[in-house]
Structure 1
Amino acid sequence: MQTVDAVDSTLNPLVANVKPSKTMALTDLATSMKEKGIDVIGLAAGEPDFDTPAAIVAAGIEALQRGMTRYTPNTGTTALRKAICKKLKDDNGLEYAPNEVVVSNGAKQSIWQAVLATCSPGDEVIIPAPYWVSYTEMATLAGAQPVVIPTTPEEGFILSADKLEAHLTPRSRLLILCSPSNPTGAVYSRAALEALADVVRRHPRLLVLSDEIYEYIIYKPAEHHSFGALPGMWERTLTVNGFSKAYAMTGWRLGYLAGPHHYVAAAAVIQSQSTSGASSIAQHAGVTALELGPGGGQPVQDMLHAFRQRRDMIVSRLRAIPGVKLAEPQGAFYVLPEMSAFFGPAAMDRIAAALSPEVYTRQSKKRIITL
C-alpha cells in the first residue's frame, strides 16, 4: 500500500493526514495476485458479480455508434438529470429541478464534493460506525474533524436519536447516513429516521448527507425511506445515489448528488475544476437504466433475488457458530458478524469445546486462527 510521508514538509498537511483507501488497496492487491496466476477471491470492493443488464449495455453501444463521445455539460446531460428528477419523485417523494442535480463520476465523487462544499476547517462530520472507510478520510481532507459514533449488533447498527444528540456540538456541520448500510446492511425505518430528524431540527447548522446507493438492494419487509422526504428535511439534506450497485455498473462510473441549489451549485464548481462531466456514454446508458422500471425493473429484481438467497445462506451458517453475534442485514450485500468472543485465550478453549478432536487439537491452534 502506498502511503504519504507525514514528515514531508513540501506536501499539503491535509494530504499527510489522509490514509489511502483500504478498500482500493486490497482490491488492487487482489488484482495483482490474480495477474500473477494466484487463485484469490477479492472481498474488498463492494461490487456485484453480475453483468450490467443487456438493455443498458445496448444503450452504451448505441451511444458509441451515434458518435455520442464528446464532452457533456459539467453537471450532466439534460436528459439524464431530468430522468434522475423523475426517479427521485416517483421512488423517493423528492422534488428536484434539473439544476438541483449534479451527475458525477460515481457516487464516491458526489459524496466527496458534498463534503468539501459544505464543511470548513474546524467543522465536525458525524459518522455512525461501522462505516464505509472513505467517510472519515473525506472529512479529514476537507479540514473537518470526523466524529465517529459506535453502534452495536444489539442496536441493529442503527444510530439512535439519543446517541446523536449526545455527540453534537456547535461545530457539528454534517451527519452522514447510509441506508441500506455499507458495511452492515442495516436499514433505517421511517420511525428511526424521524427520531433523527427531530434532533436535526434542534441544530439549525447541521446538514445531512444521505447516501442511498444501495436503495434498490433491500429485503422485504424492510423498506427504503429517503431522509430528505421527511417534513422539513429537504432543505437540510444532500441526497447521493448512483448506478454502480443496483445496476451492476461499477466500471461505468456514474453517480449523482441532489439537494438545495446553493449546495449543489457549489459541488458543481468543484467538479468543474477537477473532472468536469461524467462519461457521455455512461450518461446515455444511465437514462436507459432509469427507464427499466420501479425498483430497477426486472433485471435488478433478478439480482436482488440472488442476493437474498446468498444473504440467507451466510446468515444461517454464521448463526450456527456459537459466540457469533449478528444483526441480520436488511439490505445491501454485506454481512458484518461480531466476533469478539473468539479473541483471547479463553476463546480458544470455547472453540476447542465446540469442535471435534479431529478438527481441533491444542497443537493445531495456529492453523485454526489462520483459517
Structure 2
Amino acid sequence: MKEVLITNGANANIDCLLQALCRDENDEVIFIEPFFPQYLGHAQISKATVRAVPLVVKEDNGWHLDLNILRETLNEKTRVLILNTPHNPTGKVFNLEELEQISEILEEYPNVYIIADYVYDFVTLDGKEQYMFANIKDNWNKTVTIYSGGKLLACTGWKIGWCFGPEEIIRQAVVIYDTSSYCNFVPGQVAVAKSL
C-alpha cells in the first residue's frame, strides 16, 4: 500500500499533494478554467502561484482545451497540472486524443506532475469513454489519480477519498496528511470497500 493514500474526502488528497509537490513560492500550479473552487485554497496553502488555462466553447461540439494556451502557460516554474475529467463544473470528458496531446506537450516539461482528479469518473454521459491519464505512455511516473467514495456512491457526506500514484509522491503526502488528520472515518471505508 505504498502507492495509495486514503483520506477524509478527496479534497484532503488535493491539499496534501499540492503541499508535497509545491514547496517553493516560485512553484506554479496550472488549473483548467473554470475550476473547482477548492483548488484555489489548496494552492494558496501550498504558496504556489496559480495559472489558469481556459476551456473554450466550440459551437460544433462543446468545451475544448486550447492546447496552444497550455503550451504557452507551461514553463520551468510549473510544478503541477490539475487535470479534472469529467470536468467540474462543465462535465467535459477529455477523450483519448486530447489526453495524448496533453501528454505529448508535458514531455517537454519532465518536472511537471499531474494531479488527475477523477472523482466523477463514473458519471460519464452520452456513452463517452473515460481514459486514465496515468496509463498513457509513461505518465504513471508523474501522475497521482484521485477518487471519491462519496461521489462514486452518490453519498457526498461520506468523506472517503483516495489517491494512488508513485510511491515517492504518496510518501510525502502521507506525512502531511498524518500531521493534520489522525484517522479516517472507518465505517465509511468499510462501506466503500464493500460497494466496490
Do the two structures share a fold, i.e. TM-score over 0.5?
yes
Which runs of structure 2 are paired with 1:76-91 in the superposition (5 Å)? none
State yes or no: 1:177 paired with 2:83: yes
Aligned counterparts of 1:158 and 1:266: Cα–Cα separation in 2: 33
> Structure 2 stretches of 5 or more lacking a match?
none
1:191 is aligned to 97
Change (3 A) 1:231 1:177: same
> What's the secondary structure of 2:93's corresponding residue?
coil
> Structure 1 stretches of 5 or more lacking a match?
1-97, 291-371
State yes or no: 1:232 paired with 2:135: no
Aligned counterparts of 1:163 and 1:128: Cα–Cα separation in 2: 11
Which runs of structure 2 are paired with 1:1-371 in the superposition (5 Å)? 98-120=1-23, 121-154=25-58, 156-290=62-196
Report deviation, 1:142.
Answer: 0.4
Report deviation, 1:193.
Answer: 0.3
Change (3 A) 1:156 1:119: farther
> What's the secondary structure of 2:94's corresponding residue?
coil
* Amino acid paired to 2:13: S
Report deviation, 1:147.
Answer: 0.2
Output the aligned Cα RMSD. 1.2
Where is the helix percentage greater, Structure 1 or Structure 2?
Answer: 1
Ranges of 4+ aligned residues in structure 1 off by more than 6 Å: none
User: TM-score, normalised on structure 1?
Assistant: 0.51
* Amino acid paired to 1:149: V
Where is the strand percentage greater, Structure 1 or Structure 2?
Answer: 2
% identity of equivalent residues: 29
Aligned counterparts of 1:167 and 1:238: Cα–Cα separation in 2: 21
Aligned counterparts of 1:108 and 1:127: Cα–Cα separation in 2: 15
Report deviation, 1:137.
Answer: 2.1
Deviations 1:320-342 (A, max 9, x none): xxxxxxxxxxxxxxxxxxxxxxx
Aligned pairs, number: 193
Report deviation, 1:271.
Answer: 1.1
Report deviation, 1:114.
Answer: 0.8
Higher relative CO (Cα under 8 Å, sequence separation at least 6) belongs to 2
